[in-house]
Chains A and B, each alone.
Chain A
Amino acid sequence: MNRESYLQQLKKYLKKLPHEDYVDAIDYFTEYFDEAGIENEQIVIKELGTPKQAASELLNQLVEKQTHAPVKTWSMKRTFWLALLAIFAAPIGIPLALTAILLLFSGILVLFSLLVAFISLLVADFLVAGKLILRGLVALPVSFSGGVSLIGLGALLIGIGLLVLPVIPTIWKITKRWSLSTVTRLTRKQVIRS
């Protein structure tokens, strides 16, 4: 393993830290590698241990150090008021939170149904186009102009379908990003609450 991949992995594991602490820690270790020099890269890596191990030690101790800090004197009072507030706000807060979550989920559902609707529309479009072309071919011996215009219509529909086709991946991407960010936001809040 080299320095780059080491730092990359460390970054991955330290993502849980608050942003400011995360940046500080990464800066510190980047600087540490810089100071040690390229020739000592492997020694430093060996000394630090695996990225996972180093990161978990860092996380443990950073969190521990912070909770030992002067918070204690006023945190009891603060927790009390927060608890009181939570109790009194519950009749409004819980339905409100529920509504917010449901709204977010319905947003995701709307995007999904849009996606499904678009796909079915396109499938229908191609089916109709195929049918029109076939009918046109059959009609050719009977009426040349009629057959050709049917085939033309079919080709036109295929063209429109192909033009609209790229919209599907776009909708899919939006849906995915939306649902992912919603879910992560919700779970993150729950972690803080617990």
Chain B
Amino acid sequence: MYYPVSSVLIECIILSVVETTDSYGYEISQTVKLVADIKESTLYPILKKLEKNGDLTTYTQIFQGRKRKYYSLTPVGKEHLQFLRHEWSNYRDSLDAIIEGGIRE
């Protein structure tokens, strides 16, 4: 991807991924990498931060004889996601208006 993705946007993406169904590190990471050129060493601290802030909770499940850590959205995280979504659509709309519509101040 040519445009860099900010860490706030990555938070929004992560929260969206786990919104309907819980997910695990690798799956989340692969989804984020569809749009962002991001390293695991950057992604992991963001995940960790979301967990520490109470947006995500984790639990471990056995998958094919080994542990897999699942992330799931908390009520706090849901609220945070709503806020991030709102901000994102405002941002996207303004951006589109400028880039495609030639809007000026």
Interface on A for B, CB 8 Å cutoff? Answer: 21, 24-25, 27-29, 31-32, 34-36, 47-49, 53-55, 57-58, 61-62, 64-66, 69
Contacts and interface: CB of A to CB of B under 8 A. Distances in A.
Contacts of B68: 31, 35
Interface stretch (B14-22, B41-49, B85-93): B41-49
Choose among B24, B27, B49, B66 the residue with the greatest number of A CB atoms under 10 Å from its CB: B49
B69 interface: yes
Contact of B26 (A32, A49, A57): A32
Given A28-B69, A31-B69, A35-B24, A65 B40 contact: no
Given A31-B25, A66-B52, A47 B67 contact: no
B29 interface: yes
B104 interface: no
A31 B26 contact: yes
B44 A58 contact: yes
A34 B64 CA distance: 10
Interface of B is mostly: helix
9 contacts: A24-B48, A27-B69, A28-B25, A28-B47, A31-B68, A32-B40, A35-B24, A35-B27, A47-B39
Contacts of B44: 25, 28-29, 58
Determine the interface band of chain B, counting residues with CB < 8 A from chain A: 20 to 34
Given A65-B49, A66-B52, A57 B39 contact: yes
Interface of A is mostly: helix
A61 B25 CA distance: 18
A116 B47 CA distance: 55
A61 B45 contact: yes
Choose among B41, B46, B68 the residue with the greatest number of A CB atoms under 10 Å from its CB: B41
